[in-house]
Amino acid sequence: MKKIINPPKKDWETILKRPTQTIEAVENTVTSIFDDVKRNGDDGIKRYTAIFDGVSLDELCVSAKEISAAENALSDELKEAIQQAKTAIEKFHLAQKTDKVFVETVEGVECWQEKRPIQKIGLYIPGGTAPLFSSVLMLAVPAQIAGCKELVLCSPPNKKGEINAAILYTAQLCGITKILKVGGIQAIAGLTFGTETIPKVYKIFGPGNQYVTVAKQLSTKYGVAIDMPAGPSELLVVADDTANASFVASDLLSQAEHGTDSQVILVSTSIEMLNDVEKQIESQLLPLSRKKIAAKAIENSKLIFVETKEIAMEMINEYGPEHFIVCTNNNEYYIENIENAGSVFIGNYTPESAGDYASGTNHTLPTNGYSKAYSGVNLDSFLKSVTFQKISEKGIQNIGKTIEIMAEAEGLTAHKNAVTLRLKSLIK
């Protein structure tokens, strides 16, 4: 990791730059695949599955037999862990339910807001060497609580034409019956346009690489909503001498192993802590199963010393991390002043891994600085707020003149007339 001491503010933007490609670098590929899938449907999906996943498929849908086999393939221990995580996630997201909002703004004018589920949801679950079955829980559980009617799950197959057993088991545990063997750009295109097999959806959720992220952004041009721009994973830790250097290093490595384009940053007011964490990373890296991936990500990462907590806080808010771990002698200062972060982890015994799996919070979070404007996935992500109004005779008399004056000032005489006619009808 590159060590940086007291960087001047003018250099922060360069120092905190993410190691991601620009949209322009991948947009042509994404656009061409979208066009192909739009024209050719399942045939286009299968062609790109053969190219990118190395397998030719006759059927894109996962069968009931495959789902049953997946359940039998998992250990009881793993199934119990998945169930425990599901329970925690359900508990946290159930608590996010809100009541109808009702108010009479003036006498005779009643306004209220109710939430309705988004009917058709697409879930994208990465596969490959790190099949994220935990993301099934994070997306399907709140979708079920919200009452979404149709859930479609896409995940890339392996070279045997199979989806990871843990993904299939978790999907059926969450009540998902439409599971498709399709990944990458072509999966997002299929959910955007619909094909002979893949239903068109109203909103797409799920993490992915830079190509998937750009594909999701492109889908919005075709009237499909997305959860957020969620690309390569990232973590920022702020720690001082009260932190445990081995814990900090383990957290940094836990995000570095996601992918070579992940980024992890340690900000500290202690040079000694930076040095201790650097040593811990070197030793902890060696036995990791994804050592090469983590090592490459570490090359993109930084150890930054600043003199005060105030400078640290300003830098962190400027970066807007996806995950933010606080391990200092004044955690409350950072809790109170953090403005831009996807999810915050507090204290020596709160690893970022807890939020990834089983604490109950959602791990689908904004990356690449989007935490400055986006929230992570939550129950409301699967709901729409619909407003209602009901106006009585007394009510239209109370606000009618106001509407007429404003409509006339905007030159919208039909708007004014819609009120004037009603007011005249009430004159005795």
Helix (H) / strand (E) containing 357: helix 352-357
Instruction: Report CA torsion sign: 110, 111, 115, 120.
Output: positive
Amino acid letter for position 283:
S
Helix (H) / strand (E) containing 153: strand 150-155
What b-and-e string marks burial along 123-159, b requiring 16 or more CB atoms within 10 Å of the CB? Answer: bbbbbeeebbbbbbbbbbbbbbbbebebbbbbbbbbe
3-state secondary structure 11-54: HHHHHCCCCCCCHHHHHHHHHHHHHHHHHHCHHHHHHHHHHHHC
CA-nearest of 344, 302, 348 to 323 is 344
- Residue 323 among the catalytic residues: yes
From the list 322, 352, 363, 404, the catalytic residue is 322
From the list 258, 323, 352, 363, the catalytic residue is 323
Name the DSSP class of 248: H
Tokens matching residue 359:
């604490």
- The beta-carbon contacts of 13-20 under 8 Å, at least 24 apart in sequence, are 15/302, 15/304, 16/265, 16/302, 16/315, 16/318, 16/319, 18/232, 18/234, 18/263, 18/367, 18/368, 18/369, 19/232, 19/261, 19/263, 19/300, 20/210, 20/231, 20/232, 20/261, 20/368
Catalytic residues, which ones? 322-323
